[in-house]
Amino acid sequence: MDIKQTMDVRTLCLGALMGSEATGYEIRKMFEDGTFSHFQIASLGSIYPALTKLTQDGMVTFVEREQENRPDKKVYQLTSEGRRTFLRTLLQTRPGEDRYRSDILFMLTFAEELPVELTEALIDEFAARHEMTQIQIDPENPEKDNCPLAHGRDENGAPSPGCRFVAGLGQAMCEATLDFIRRNKDGLIEELRTRKDKKT
């Protein structure tokens, strides 16, 4: 069996279309601030070439829909072959190592070199982002569709078990981060102020 090491953009696009049809822009939104935004990245510049190749390979089809005062938009839909390919890819993929990227955490690594006020502001912004993320990934939040498997919802519209699990894990990670900040922020700020006072 040919084992893949990472998810490529074509696979990500197939996954985005598992629930329903979507435009390239709507797929980008899923990775920008929607369903997948907290653990995958796919830029608009990579999505459209991937959709073109998937169309050529018979994995997706599209229809062009008219828009008033705007160019027609392409709405993509998964074919049965695309669905089979996506599920086969999931079975043949060994997930790559998770990597967490954060400019704020990189900056905070050098907190002793920064003004204390900036360090405090960075920590507060980091906390605010996690509070917002908790809301965004709440599977019960009616404002957000946090599961691409629309057909996998029950009669009450509840998310599928997998989506609920992933969202719950994300919320638990956010809560752990916020709890750590609540318990450790004041101590860090006090230590930084003490060190700066000794230098002056």
The ranges assigned to domains in the chain are: 9-92, 103-199
Between the two ends of the chain, the Cα-to-Cα distance in Å is: 65
Nearest to 147 by CA among 157, 159, 135: 159
Global pTM?
A: 0.72
pLDDT at 149 over 70: no
Q: Which residue has the higher pLDDT, 114 or 146?
A: 114
pLDDT at position 168 is: 85
- Mean pLDDT of the 103-123 span: 95
Confidence band (pLDDT; 50, 70, 90) for 180? very high
| Residue 44 dihedral angles phi and psi, to the nearest 5° | -60, -35
pLDDT at position 150 is: 47
Opening angle at CA 122, ends 121 and 126, nearest 5: 115
pLDDT at 1 over 70: no
Phi-psi region of 69 (alpha: psi -120 to 50; beta: other; left: phi over 0): left
pLDDT at position 45 is: 86
Q: Which residue has the higher pLDDT, 153 or 48?
A: 48
Specify the CATH class of 9-92 in words: mainly alpha
Confidence band (pLDDT; 50, 70, 90) for 123? very high
Nearest to 48 by CA among 26, 32, 68: 26
pLDDT at 128 over 70: yes
3-state helix, strand, coil in the chain (%, to 5): 55, 10, 30
pLDDT at 52 over 60: yes
Q: pLDDT, tens digit, for every residue of 61-107?
A: 999 888 888 888 899 999 999 999 999 888 888 887 887 888 999 99
